[in-house]
Structure 1
Amino acid sequence: MGKVILVTGGVRSGKSLFAEELAKKIGENILYIATAIPYDDEMRERIDVHKMFRPVSWTTYEVYKDLHEVIDSIDNKQDGILLDCVTIMITNLMFDYPSFDENNIGQSIIKEINEYIIDEFCKLLNFLKKRDINIIMVTNEIGWGLVPESKLGRVFRDISGKINQLLAREAEEVYLLVSGIPMKIK
């Protein structure tokens, strides 16, 4: 069985760069799963900057759901996987949920969205347990700040916290980055 490594920290704390360095130690043939959807020019520029630093031997897939199926469909043997970023994946899954309406999000829909997102990550983790492949997952610690003003922000924060706990429990290694400094916490 491969190893699950979780890299977490605040925004612009150096998580992606650190995760990329870890991936390079795993091997040259890395599957890079990018979960961001570029909705505007600023986001496209951010994505382009990230792409510039990736080795040419890495394969990039831009996808945010059914990752177990995506990984299973790839023919060539990968040395490892880098998933960047769990938090953006959660955002995309929330907005992708069929009954999602940010102006009318009641407790029953919140429960359904939680179950939907947890199921996506459980499917991925269960699939990885059956495969001998290492995965590095990058996520954000968003619960250290102020309580979000909007209900949608609080729902997102809560789901992100639950997913981060799930991934940290399953991970063999967890790193926290603060101001570019990695600390191994598990």
Structure 2
Amino acid sequence: MIGGARSGKSSYAERRIKELQSNQNDVVYIATAIPTDGDMNERIKRHQEERSSDWHTVEQYKQFNKLKMEGKFLQAKYVIVDCMTVMITNLMFERYTDIDFETINNEQINELELFIEKEVNELIDVCKQLEKSLLIVSNEVGYGLVPAYRLGRIFRDIAGRINQKIASRAEEVILVTAGIPLRIK
């Protein structure tokens, strides 16, 4: 599921999974957000309240091979990841905790993108190996204005390319706008 901010992509992904699941052990919800401030705390709380209490939630944004050791993950048929762009943000700031993104060089940007791509591929590969249906929720960040700051442009470019790579591996891609899903692949 891809779409703009507040487009309804998370709600659509959750409705879709509810239609597919046959029992409460069918779904693992990977929540990628980290509570960094009051606004993010509220967003996390709202998502927790909206999500089915039957689903097993894993709060994680990296090292997805560890999921192979978790019983609830192994039992599940479906995996929702919400949200890829939040995961990308977490990985960007984890990788470069002390760098000035206004002066980062192209070699560092390329290394950062490869680091993020490795984590994304690990997630997809784990789900594929264990025959899980994977739904990824991500923001389409290329429709807006060009960000005024270099950090924003770097993020937009990396997120856009990661979304393209995910879409190329996906069987289906749904664009959600104003709560309305449109199958684009």
The aligned residue for residue 72 of structure 1 is: 68
The 10-residue stretch of structure 1 (101-110 or 43-52) with the greater mean CA deviation from structure 2: 101-110
Partner SS state of residue 20, structure 1: helix
The aligned residue for residue 96 of structure 1 is: 94
The aligned residue for residue 80 of structure 2 is: 82
What is the CA–CA distance in structure 2 between the aligned matches of 1:17 and 1:11, rounded to whole Å? 12
TM-score when scaled to structure 1?
0.91
Identity, % of aligned positions: 43
Matched residue pairs, number?
Answer: 179
RMSD across aligned positions (CA): 1.4
Stretches of structure 2 that go unaligned for 5 or more consecutive residues are none
Deviation of 1:145 after TM superposition, in Å, equals 0.9
By relative contact order (CA 8 Å, sep 6+), the higher-ranking structure is 1
The aligned residue for residue 24 of structure 1 is: 18
Deviation of 1:124 after TM superposition, in Å, equals 1.8
Q: Which runs of structure 2 are paired with 1:89-168 in the superposition (5 Å)? A: 89-98=87-96, 101=99, 102-168=101-167
The 10-residue stretch of structure 1 (20-29 or 146-155) with the greater mean CA deviation from structure 2: 20-29
What is the CA–CA distance in structure 2 between the aligned matches of 1:48 and 1:99, rounded to whole Å? 26
What is the CA–CA distance in structure 1 between the aligned matches of 2:145 and 2:135, rounded to whole Å? 28
The aligned residue for residue 170 of structure 2 is: 171
The 10-residue stretch of structure 1 (83-92 or 46-55) with the greater mean CA deviation from structure 2: 46-55
The one of 2, 24, 29 aligned to 1:8: 2
Which structure: greater helix fraction? 2
Contact 2:28–2:55 (CA under 8 A) maintained in structure 1:
yes
What is the CA–CA distance in structure 2 between the aligned matches of 1:143 and 1:75, rounded to whole Å? 38
TM-score when scaled to structure 2?
0.91
What is the CA–CA distance in structure 2 between the aligned matches of 1:176 and 1:98, rounded to whole Å? 31
Counterpart of 1:134, as a letter, is S
Stretches of structure 1 that go unaligned for 5 or more consecutive residues are 1-6
